């Protein structure tokens, strides 16, 4: 039932993500928000918003139940701001979506870097995006992008070619494929990664939803990489948001005569980190890169071992892994034992982490 109340709150007009986050932080249960008086809520969100929220709660509950039913039928998972599965990095931004709709793998690895750029691109932009996306994927890092035509799609495809994990953040419902030319990509990501959105199933894209989704791309990631973007590209919005959130921004230096990459040199003037090789990322975000021989593919890992490795960018207790991976204690224990024997993880005071 708690999920229904949080979903209802996310649907309330006039209650933005920042306000919703404040309410959830001040009430132990979302149910208590709707059981409060307008006067009690007024201190947090103002009397007018409080009265409107409570007046419409029956309608909101009805909408929430319908959405949940559609989600269940469409194999869409709902993860709320209060769930353990909610991405930690995203939770830290000022206005995180209080509900994420997810298709594909609900266990989104925390070790994220985003790669974004323009829809129109040069042959150089294509090759440099492929290069960095593939190199990052080989490091077992989750590559986040927006599944838009152009650089975003190139980044996703490049990761998939390396059997890596990639997360697509949509500006529409996760049940809608946009653009249609990415139909094959959509289903490939479903098999090997995650497709997420803050918008309920059936929501069509608009010129307003894409800038909104950019904050999720930036919020999920420790760093945002601009491989090729024009001065007017939405990728620059993502870069600005990443900077506002205290995350790193990397920009590939561009030919000054390339109109598709004017945004890259602009970002460098604004203080972005020049990106000329993977070492530039390693120097600034070294904790994302584990140093075992599995990096050079000398150790073969099963799919589940790769998944565990993605989770262990931060120390994890075995109980947390059991919950996140939905496996038994015996199954996890055996996997962790074998991974320790391979020399790719270690146990420290009851917590496991990549070497």
Residue 297 has what pLDDT?
Answer: 46
DSSP 289: S
**What confidence score (pLDDT) does residue 17 get?**
94
Chain center to CA of 126: 23
Give the per-residue pLDDT at 292: 44
Query: Is there a domain that residue 42 lies in?
Result: yes
How many domains does the chain fold into?
3
Domain shared by 125 and 44, yes or no: no
What does the block give as tokens for 7? 């979903």
Number of other residues whose CB lies within 10 A of the CB of residue 232: 10
Torsion of CA 338, 341, 344, 347, to 10 degrees: 90
- Which CA distances in Å does 346 have to 312, 324, 351? 10, 19, 8
Q: Is the pTM of this model over 0.75?
A: yes
Same domain, 126 and 272: yes
175 shares a domain with 122: yes
The answer to whether position 95 is within a domain reads no
What Rg value do the Cα atoms of the chain yield, rounded? 21
Farthest-apart Cα atoms in the chain, separation: 64
Task: Note whether 124 and 188 are same-domain residues.
Answer: yes
Cβ-contact 341, 335 below 8 angstroms: no
Domain span holding position 260: 112-288
Sign of CA dihedral 207, 212, 313, 228: positive
pLDDT tens digits for range 164-176: 999 999 999 999 9
Where does the chain have alpha helices with state H?
A: 2-11, 17-26, 30-34, 38-45, 47-55, 57-73, 88-91, 123-138, 151-161, 183-192, 209-220, 235-244, 262-269, 278-284, 303-311, 318-325, 329-341
Domain boundary among 273, 288, 303: 288
pLDDT computed for residue 294 by the predictor: 42
- pLDDT the model gives residue 135: 98
Domain finish residue from 26, 50, 73: 73
Say if residue 118 is in the same domain as residue 229: yes
- How high is the pLDDT of residue 296? 38
- Check whether residue 144 and residue 207 sit in a common domain: yes
Q: 341 and 230, same structural domain?
A: no
- For 170, the token pair is 């949509």
Going across the sheet that includes 223-228, the strands are 77-80, 99-104, 194-197, 166-169, 142-145, 112-117, 223-228, 248-251, 273-274
Residues (pLDDT < 70) of the chain are: 290-298
Q: Which of 237, 287, 298, 296 is nearest to 263 (CA)?
A: 237
User: What confidence score (pLDDT) does residue 290 get?
Assistant: 65
At residue 82, φ and ψ (nearest 5 deg) are -95, -5
CA within 13 Å, CB half, 340: 12
């Amino acid at each position: 039932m708690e999920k229904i109340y949080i979903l209802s709150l996310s649907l309330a007009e006039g209650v933005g993500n920042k306000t919703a986050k404040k309410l959830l932080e001040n009430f132990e249960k979302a149910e208590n928000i709707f059981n409060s008086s307008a006067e009690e809520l007024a201190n947090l969100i103002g009397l007018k918003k409080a009265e409107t929220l409570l007046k419409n709660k029956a309608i909101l509950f009805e909408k929430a139940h319908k959405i949940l039913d559609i989600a269940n039928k469409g194999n869409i998972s709902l993860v709320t701001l209060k769930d353990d599965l909610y991405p930690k990095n995203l939770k830290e931004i000022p206005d995180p979506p209080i509900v994420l709709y997810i298709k594909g793998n609900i266990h989104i690895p925390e070790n994220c870097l985003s790669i974004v750029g323009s829809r129109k691109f040069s042959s150089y932009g294509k090759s440099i995006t492929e290069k960095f996306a593939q190199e990052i994927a080989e490091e077992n890092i989750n590559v986040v992008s927006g599944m838009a035509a152009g650089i975003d799609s190139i980044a996703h495809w490049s990761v998939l070619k390396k059997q890596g994990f990639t997360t697509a953040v949509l500006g529409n419902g996760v049940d809608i494929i946009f653009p249609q030319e990415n139909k094959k990509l959509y289903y490939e990501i479903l098999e090997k990664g995650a497709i997420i959105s803050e918008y309920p199933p059936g929501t069509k894209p608009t010129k307003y939803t894409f800038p909104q989704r950019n904050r999720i791309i930036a919020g999920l990631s420790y760093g945002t990489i601009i491989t090729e973007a024009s001065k007017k590209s939405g990728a620059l919005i993502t870069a600005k948001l990443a900077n506002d959130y205290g995350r790193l921004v990397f920009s590939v230096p561009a030919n000054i005569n390339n109109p598709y990459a004017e945004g890259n040199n602009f970002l460098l003037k604004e203080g972005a980190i020049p990106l000329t090789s993977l070492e530039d990322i390693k120097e600034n975000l070294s904790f994302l890169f584990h140093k075992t021989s599995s990096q050079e593919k000398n150790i073969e890992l099963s799919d589940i071992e790769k998944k565990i490795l993605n989770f262990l960018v931060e120390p994890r207790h075995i109980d947390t892994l059991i919950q996140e991976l939905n496996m038994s204690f015996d199954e996890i224990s055996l996997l962790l034992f074998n991974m320790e024997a391979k020399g790719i993880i270690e146990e420290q005071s009851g917590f496991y982490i990549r070497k």
